Amino acid sequence: MTTRNDASLPIALLLLAEGTLYFTFLFIIGPLPPLVRLLPLLAIVVLCAAVYWGFSWARFVLLLPIGVRLHRLALLTAAAWGLGRTGIALFLTLIILAEAAAVFLLLDQQVRAYAASRAPQTGYAPAPR
């Protein structure tokens, strides 16, 4: 189980990226079917809250909606670059990089915790001070 401070940066990156993407589509592009656009944001918010409160299983469940989002954003970014929409493409690339960094940080913390738990115990205890 992790502490709340371990996952603060990845959670902040994910919430910032997802919120930016949702509200950009809502206010600039127009009111798309709100439930379709709101469900991925709600899933990310709920899973980020679970990670924040120390549920380690939520780290792996959180990878599914992020992976789907990154796949869709990569296709959308490629289309924006192909159509010459440089500003939109750079904006979407920034969101992709933020989400990829958050995933890396989440996985890095999990791998380090696993490696620490698998380290051999020497039986040596430091002397009390």
Q: For residue 127, tell me if it sits in a domain.
A: no
Provide the number of structural domains found in the chain. 1
Rounded to two decimals, the pTM is 0.75
Q: For residue 129, tell me if it sits in a domain.
A: no
Q: For residue 50, tell me if it sits in a domain.
A: yes
Which tens digit of pLDDT belongs to each residue from 43-88?
888 888 888 888 878 888 888 888 888 998 999 999 999 999 999 8
3-state secondary structure of 55: coil
* Ramachandran angles phi, psi of 55, nearest 5°: -85, 110
Contacts of 38 (CB under 8 A, 6+ apart): 22
Per the structure, the complete domain to which residue 72 belongs is given by: 4-115
Q: Is the pLDDT of residue 2 over 50?
A: no
- Can you tell me the distance from the alpha carbon of 30 to that of 13, in angstroms, rounded to the nearest whole number? 25
For residues 62 and 51, the answer to whether their CB atoms sit within 8 Å is: yes
Which letter, b or e, does each residue of 92-102 get, where b requires 16 or more Cβ atoms within 10 Å of its Cβ?
beebbebbeeb
Q: For residue 27, tell me if it sits in a domain.
A: yes
Which tens digit of pLDDT belongs to each residue from 78-128?
999 999 999 989 999 999 999 999 889 888 887 887 787 777 766 666 666
Q: For residue 25, tell me if it sits in a domain.
A: yes
